[in-house]
């Protein structure tokens, strides 16, 4: 079956995947240029991700959507198992959200333009004025149900296990007084781990677990640290036994 699936990827998935990706990029670029960046920055990617996983015949299971309120903005934080985390979250979280990204990406040709037009959140830590400007921009964007998604590990795992979390997303949630929602991803590491980028896809089910929101209690370092630790424990609790526990990742 493995080789039949690989033949299917070459003959069916690859051409259809290229076509759907090109259509998505055009829709985002044109839509964000002439229309509502909040809508066009999310909707085409949402349907592209769903089609992408369906073309690969990968089943998806989502638990916990009932935890979320309709018009509430959240900061979603997820473990980062592999490249397929993006497709799972874009396609199946079912919330309009922005990505947190480094300010340097704003200067990249085409990518920076598309990210800015679609209101992605650029974080600039080059001094207090830049940090304040980043927070003010995020405050203007993350409202009326528009949320933020962050991988607080900072990079994909090499082991399948979670690495340590960085504080950035939790500091932003604290500044804006937004609830943090932990997301546990299972299966992405089995489909295509970081060490196998560009190889054939391994068939494996994907699962997204949406945990109970963590609302801010106070403001400042105590709230940031408490939220970070609670989010880490929540995500860890829903990982499959194979990837439970902390294992040092080479890039952290």
Record the pTM.
0.90
> Which residues, at least 6 apart from 52, have a Cβ–Cβ distance to it below 8 Å?
17, 20, 87, 91
Q: What is the pLDDT of residues 39-85, one digit of tens each?
A: 988 999 899 999 999 999 999 999 999 999 988 999 999 999 999 99
Closest by CA to 166, choosing from 73, 79, 74, is 79
Q: What is the pLDDT of residue 55?
A: 97
Confidence check: pLDDT of 105 > 70: no
Q: What is the pLDDT of residues 145-176, one digit of tens each?
A: 899 999 999 889 999 999 999 988 899 899 99
Closest by CA to 143, choosing from 75, 240, 219, 224, is 75
The Cα 148–Cα 167 span in angstroms is 15
């Amino acid at each position: 079956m493995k080789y039949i699936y690989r033949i299917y990827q070459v003959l069916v998935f690859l051409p259809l995947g290229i076509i759907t990706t090109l259509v998505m990029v055009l829709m985002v670029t044109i839509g964000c240029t002439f229309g509502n960046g909040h809508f066009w920055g999310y909707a085409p990617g949402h349907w592209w991700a769903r089609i992408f996983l369906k073309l690969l015949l990968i089943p998806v299971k989502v638990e916990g959507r009932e935890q979320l309120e309709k018009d509430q903005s959240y900061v979603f934080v997820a473990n980062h198992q592999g490249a397929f985390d993006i497709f799972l979250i874009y396609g199946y979280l079912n919330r309009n959200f922005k990505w947190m990204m480094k300010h340097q990406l704003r200067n990249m040709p085409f990518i920076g333009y598309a990210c800015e037009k679609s209101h992605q959140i650029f974080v600039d830590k080059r001094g207090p004025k830049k940090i304040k400007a980043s927070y003010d921009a995020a405050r203007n964007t993350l409202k009326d149900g528009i949320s933020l998604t962050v991988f607080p590990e900072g990079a994909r795992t090499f082991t399948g296990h979670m690495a340590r979390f960085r504080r950035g997303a939790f500091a932003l949630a604290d500044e804006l007084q937004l609830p943090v929602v932990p997301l546990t991803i299972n299966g992405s590491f089995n489909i295509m781990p970081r060490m196998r980028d560009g190889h054939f896809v391994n068939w494996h089910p994907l699962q997204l677990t949406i945990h109970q929101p963590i609302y801010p209690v106070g403001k400042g370092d105590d709230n940031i640290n408490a939220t970070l630790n609670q989010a880490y424990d929540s995500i860890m609790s829903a990982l499959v036994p194979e990837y439970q526990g902390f294992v040092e990742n080479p890039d952290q």
